[in-house]
Amino acid sequence: MYTAVLLTAPSAPSLDPALVEALRNAWGGGDAIWLSPDEVAEFTMALMPENLWKVWEDCQGMGVDLVVIPTAGRRKQMLLADMDSTMIQQECIDELAEEAGVGAQVKDITARAMNGELDFNAALRERVGLLKGLSEGVIMQVLDNRITLMPGGKTLLATMRRNGAYAALVSGGFTAFTSNVARQLGFDENRANTLLVEGGELTGEVGMPILGKQAKVDALEEITARLGIAERDVMAVGDGANDLGMLTRAGLGVALHAKPAVAAQCNVRINFGDLTALLYVQGYSKDAFVD
């Protein structure tokens, strides 16, 4: 059995019941269940639709995210999340670069690296090198004044953890940021790179080894082994090329507002919903959310 989930942006819920009924009838689905009025509906069906991606494109044009996943095992026991542009709305290194006066140069490198055009490790070293001499105190200024949480994150973490799930934040960014974000959102653990500091200033170097694409896969393997769960029990979420390893290995990989090259390789793509979409995809209704 498969479950089809249709979602719209929670800030402007506008899911047309006629669309849900038309799709349900076309695919021979069961009765529609509304997980959130005007925002999210789902139905089950026996087979994976052959025209899924054509219908998905049509739905995108209507501001609707369409997800079709196996019904069995859809509720996950672990969340493995990227941080930059996933759990927060910014790229931390870009915000530091703005303070250092090299914002445009660093943003260009970041965009190309996240789209898979550059080697992640080399791109990270190049960007960190441009931050040499920046005061360590700027990190806290950026956290306080430039970093905002992605909508729905606190609800996602609170709801999954209340239902027994484990949550790990694994970022190609920096521990100075992940430790703060993990604490705010309620992650059980966080992993990231380390910005090296000497005399109160950034040295322009990053601690080795660099946590990149493979390190996120390693985290998936290590944490599931420690918890005694399978990789199919994990939901991973990210937006960049360095997330693809964990997104394709996890039982449910979600490309959230992802770069085109990344989304193209993922079966679950959320472009209009916020992080609560990850709860709806697992079958949680809005009245089951924990604030």
H-run or E-run covering 203:
strand 201-206
Q: Which of 254, 224, 194, 264 is nearest to 74 (CA)?
A: 254
- Which of 16, 58, 82, 274 is catalytic? The answer is 82
Q: Is residue 239 annotated as part of the catalytic site, yes or no?
A: no
Tokens of 97: 């670069």
Q: How many CB atoms lie within 10 A of CB 290?
A: 15
- Which of 16, 38, 58, 84 is catalytic? The answer is 84
Q: Is residue 108 annotated as part of the catalytic site, yes or no?
A: no
Range list of β-strands (E), 154-251: 166-174, 189-193, 195-198, 201-206, 234-238
Strands 268-270 and 252-256: parallel
193 near 177, Cβ under 8 Å?
Answer: no
Q: Which of 77, 87, 289 is nearest to 186 (CA)?
A: 87
238 near 255, Cβ under 8 Å?
Answer: yes
Tokens of 63: 């501001």
96 near 127, Cβ under 8 Å?
Answer: no
Q: For 105, phi and psi rounded to 5 degrees? A: -65, -45
CA angle 172, 136, 114 (to 5 degrees): 20
Q: Which of 75, 22, 24 is nearest to 46 (CA)?
A: 24
Residue positions annotated with a catalytic role: 82, 84
